[in-house]
Amino acid sequence: MYETEANSSVESPAQFPAEVMRSFDQLRGRIASRTVLPWSEHCTECVWPTCYTTCDLYSPRQDGRCRRFADGMVRIDSPSAANSYLLKIRFKRWGKLWTPGNVRLHPAEQAEKLERRDYRIGNALRRFPLPTLVKITVTTKRYGFKKRIASPATDGGELPTCFLVECYNPEAHNVRLSLTMRAADERSNMPFQKLIELTPGFHRIRVPLEEIAALVDLRHPFGIDLIPNDEAEETTLYFGLMEFVIELAEAQKTGTNGGAGKSGKTGKTKADGKIKCIVWDLDNTLWEGVLIEDGAERLRLKPGVASIIQQLDQRGILHSIASKNNSEDALQALNKFQLEQYFLCPQISWKPKSEGIKTIAQQLNIGRDSLLFIDDSEFELGEVKSVCPEVRVLNADQYLTLAERDECQVPVTAESRERRRLYQVEASRQTVAQSFSHDYMAFLRHCEIQLTVRPMSEENLERVHELTQRTNQMNFSGNRYDREVLRQLLANLDLDTFVLSCEDRFGSYGVIGFSIVDRREPRMTDLMFSCRIQSKRVEHAFLSSVMQRYVAETGKDFYANYRKTPRNAPSGQVFADLGMEEIETRDGVLSLRFPKEREVPDDGVIQVVVQDTQEAMVTPA
């Protein structure tokens, strides 16, 4: 769902290559249930309504709000796509897709009906001959209603298995897309973040629910952002489904009524029969011998098995283990054969192998019908088949046929070669995220945040101007500079200017801050940050590095001006955190001082890199 009330553009699907349209069509009939999220265009630096009069990038929509996508949200009807249409988004600088989040699921057929009804209502509101102010009021209330019904906490119903994004990158270069989910409660600092590398072409990204839930309480209101990184001007992307989902294979294995349509057809294609993961037994299957009886030193790999595993790995077919053994001993044996890195989520215990296979499917977030289990024991093959009838089984004496079997015939691509590594990275990330659930500072260190500080120049002056017009809740002076004033600052030899940009392991935030220091006193006369880095302690890192520099260079106390307001008061706590003392208030501006004899606090969370100065400085994390 999207802002149908404010977006009327429709384009033809003829602009797509045929293979891209086929890719968008693949999920039709394969979604059991999904959310209906009301996506809208937003700005990463929104300070509504101030920016409507101060920002050069403000372009009014029909409802008076800011047009952050060059052409709005352009609809491309595609009846065979999962939600029957695609969205063309031409992001302008600082534009982002945003929606209030929820995990309330609707059967796929009902979700599509809700989308169609919303489109009809949006069309009617745009076309109905109403006075302009009345139309603005009605359309605003309509989208406000959609947001409100999307925001409440869930009622404890069935949860989705993943957040799914379909995206086509038509650009000739890679686009880095940041996915962020953040609790609406400002006291919840730790968001879920994922950096998506979009190579040219079609992508379908699944983010397991467990990864998100490790950091965000999905029972309470939260927001979802999709933001292109490092794009100086405009970036065009096409989106299909952007929802929390249960896919049909998942619904079948849990007994969910998937809403595949009245005919009951699942929309399976020939590609559905392909194997995604091979689950191996160990004793007399992967190797000759029984580990617990013969010992690791007497085991021998089955002839050709290593080559087969490597060949299938190149095709993007994953491998795992379901074996009755002592886990530590079995992993040591795999390490001896230099095969341990190929096996994801190994289930090695004395429990029934069917339980291990269920766990593997869940952890890899794939359907059991895409698993193939190999064992030398007919008893074990039968046990798995009786409990998990959708799992395919193969006797170990047939292992040499694996590479030639029809269900394993998939093309070797750059993506397939990387598939195992990507699963390993995601597994590592989930483990790390869960380990940080109660240690926010440790989480920030793990984010590997780097703050780069440069002086203002003609090259970055335009970005600084935009930032000064838009920052609000992290603007500690309240100043807004036009371009001529900024050029005057450049010419003033008594003033040092600092332009701040930031990035972390989840993406780039671009230019996020600006500061001015009068070196004669020394006094920081201006300091402002983008709200994108709020709660990341970037302001602490910068202020600490600046105080260290000027106290060391001048041997004097360091001063700062702060015009305190209700909006910037929470962020203004940074001055007290770093030990600055209040001296006086004059004309609404608070004067702060840091005594030169004190040691400047530095928590070491963020790496600060100062560039293009006579004395470059790096503060290590």
Q: 361 and 243 in one domain?
A: no
Amino acid identity for residue 316 in this structure: G
CB atoms < 10 A from the CB of 69, how many? 24
Domain containing 492 equals 444-619
Q: What is the pLDDT of residue 588?
A: 87
Report whether pLDDT(449) > 50: yes
Q: What is the pLDDT of residue 381?
A: 95
Q: What is the pLDDT of residue 16?
A: 85
Task: Give me the chain's average pLDDT, please.
Answer: 83
What would the mean pLDDT of 171-175 be, rounded to a whole number?
A: 86
At residue 570 the predicted structure's pLDDT band, cuts being 50, 70 and 90, is: confident
Q: How far apart are CA 407 and CA 393, in angstroms?
A: 12
Which of 97-101, 322-326, 382-386, 471-475 is the least confident region?
471-475
Q: 592 and 477 in one domain?
A: yes
Q: What is the pLDDT of residue 215?
A: 80
Task: Collect all residues with Cβ–Cβ distance below 8 Å to 416 and sequence separation of at least 6.
Answer: 314, 315, 316, 410
> What separation in angstroms does the CA of 86 have from each of 89, 98, 117, 169?
10, 16, 16, 13
What would the mean pLDDT of 590-607 be, rounded to a whole number?
A: 92
Which of 162-166, 215-219, 481-485 is the least confident region?
215-219
- Tokens 């940050």 correspond to what residue? 529
CB atoms < 10 A from the CB of 430, how many? 17
Q: Is 264 inside any structural domain? A: no
At residue 254 the predicted structure's pLDDT band, cuts being 50, 70 and 90, is: very low
Q: How far apart are CA 39 and CA 75, in angstroms?
A: 13
Q: What is the pLDDT of residue 193?
A: 85
Q: Is 2 inside any structural domain? A: no
Q: What is the pLDDT of residue 157?
A: 63
Q: How far apart are CA 210 and CA 204, in angstroms?
A: 18
Q: At what angle do helices 108-127 and 132-150 cross, to 10 degrees?
A: 160
Edge-to-edge strands, sheet with 40-43: 40-43, 95-101, 222-228, 175-183, 192-198
Query: What percentage of the chain exceeds 90 in pLDDT?
Result: 42
Q: How far apart are CA 377 and CA 353, in angstroms?
A: 12
Are 577 and 540 a contacting pair, CB within 8 Å? yes
Q: How far apart are CA 212 and CA 224, in angstroms?
A: 11
Q: Helix H segments across 8-102?
A: 18-25, 51-54
Q: 465 and 330 in one domain?
A: no
Q: Is 99 inside any structural domain? A: yes
Q: Helix H segments across 337-373?
A: 353-364
Q: 479 and 404 in one domain?
A: no
How many domains would you assign to the chain?
3
Q: Helix H segments across 397-519?
A: 414-435, 440-446, 461-470, 483-491
Are 568 and 561 a contacting pair, CB within 8 Å? no
Instruction: Encode pLDDT of 257-307 as tens digits.
Output: 333 333 333 333 333 478 989 999 999 999 999 999 999 999 999 999 999
Query: Which of 391, 426, 461 delimits the end of a domain?
Result: 426
What would the mean pLDDT of 505-510 be, rounded to a whole number?
A: 77
Which of 63-77, 88-102, 538-552 is the least confident region?
63-77
Q: 221 and 78 in one domain?
A: yes
Amino acid identity for residue 305 in this structure: V
Q: How far apart are CA 306 and CA 259, in angstroms?
A: 43
Q: What is the pLDDT of residue 268?
A: 38
Q: How far apart are CA 108 and CA 614, in angstroms?
A: 61
Q: Is 260 inside any structural domain? A: no
Q: How far apart are CA 165 and CA 86, in angstroms?
A: 12
Are 66 and 58 a contacting pair, CB within 8 Å? yes
Amino acid identity for residue 52 in this structure: Y
What would the mean pLDDT of 220-231 be, rounded to a whole number?
A: 84
Check residues 59 and 553 and name the one with the higher pLDDT.
553
What would the mean pLDDT of 90-102 be, rounded to a whole number?
A: 87
Instruction: Encode pLDDT of 303-348 as tens digits.
Output: 999 999 999 998 889 999 999 999 999 999 999 999 999 999 999 9
Q: Is 200 inside any structural domain? A: yes
Task: Collect all residues with Cβ–Cβ distance below 8 Å to 297 and sequence separation of at least 6.
Answer: none
Are 396 and 284 a contacting pair, CB within 8 Å? yes
Query: Exposed/middle/buried for 419, CB within 10 Å: 0-12, 13-18, 19+?
Result: middle
At residue 48 the predicted structure's pLDDT band, cuts being 50, 70 and 90, is: low
Q: Is 386 inside any structural domain? A: yes
Q: 167 and 292 in one domain?
A: no
Beta strands in 459-579 (DSSP E): 495-504, 507-518, 523-529, 558-562
Q: How far apart are CA 315 and CA 409, in angstroms?
A: 8
Q: How far apart are CA 110 and CA 408, in angstroms?
A: 36
Are 316 and 370 a contacting pair, CB within 8 Å? no
Q: Is 460 inside any structural domain? A: yes
What would the mean pLDDT of 190-212 be, rounded to a whole number?
A: 87
Q: 556 and 493 in one domain?
A: yes
Q: How far apart are CA 270 and CA 436, in angstroms?
A: 43
Q: How far apart are CA 235 and CA 545, in angstroms?
A: 35
Report whether pLDDT(155) > 60: no
Q: How far apart are CA 102 and CA 136, in angstroms?
A: 27
- For the entire predicted model, the pTM comes to 0.56
Are 500 and 537 a contacting pair, CB within 8 Å? no
CATH number for the domain including 352?
3.40.50.1000
- 584 phi, psi to nearest 5 deg: -160, 165
Report whether pLDDT(126) > 80: no
Instruction: Encode pLDDT of 514-561 as tens digits.
Output: 999 999 999 999 999 887 777 788 999 999 999 999 999 999 999 999
Q: 305 and 181 in one domain?
A: no
What would the mean pLDDT of 573-582 be, rounded to a whole number?
A: 92
Which of 75-84, 142-151, 429-438, 574-583 is the least confident region?
429-438
Return the SS3 of 128. Answer: coil
- 515 phi, psi to nearest 5 deg: -150, 155
Q: 342 and 215 in one domain?
A: no
Q: What is the pLDDT of residue 139?
A: 73
Amino acid identity for residue 446 in this structure: H
What would the mean pLDDT of 114-132 be, rounded to a whole number?
A: 80
What would the mean pLDDT of 576-601 be, rounded to a whole number?
A: 92
Amino acid identity for residue 89 in this structure: I
> What separation in angstroms does the CA of 98 have from each of 38, 151, 292, 583?
8, 13, 55, 42
Check residues 77 and 140 and name the one with the higher pLDDT.
77
Query: Exposed/middle/buried for 530, CB within 10 Å: 0-12, 13-18, 19+?
Result: buried
Q: How far apart are CA 332 and CA 320, in angstroms?
A: 15
Query: What is the 3-class SS of 145-201, one letter each residue?
Result: HHHHHHCCCCCCCCCCCEEEEEEEECCCCCEEEEEEEEECCCCCCCCEEEEEEECCE
Q: Is 190 inside any structural domain? A: yes
Query: Which of 394, 426, 458 delimits the end of a domain?
Result: 426
Q: 499 and 575 in one domain?
A: yes
Q: 196 and 128 in one domain?
A: yes
Q: How far apart are CA 383 and CA 470, in angstroms?
A: 64
- In this structure, what token pair is assigned to residue 41? 């265009």
- 394 phi, psi to nearest 5 deg: -150, 130
Which of 152-166, 437-451, 542-556, 604-618 is the least confident region?
604-618
Report whether pLDDT(366) > 50: yes
Q: What is the pLDDT of residue 291?
A: 94
Task: Collect all residues with Cβ–Cβ distance below 8 Å to 423 and sequence separation of at least 6.
Answer: 318, 344, 364
Q: 198 and 53 in one domain?
A: yes
Q: What is the pLDDT of residue 51?
A: 57
β-pairing, 558-562 vs 31-34, is unpaired
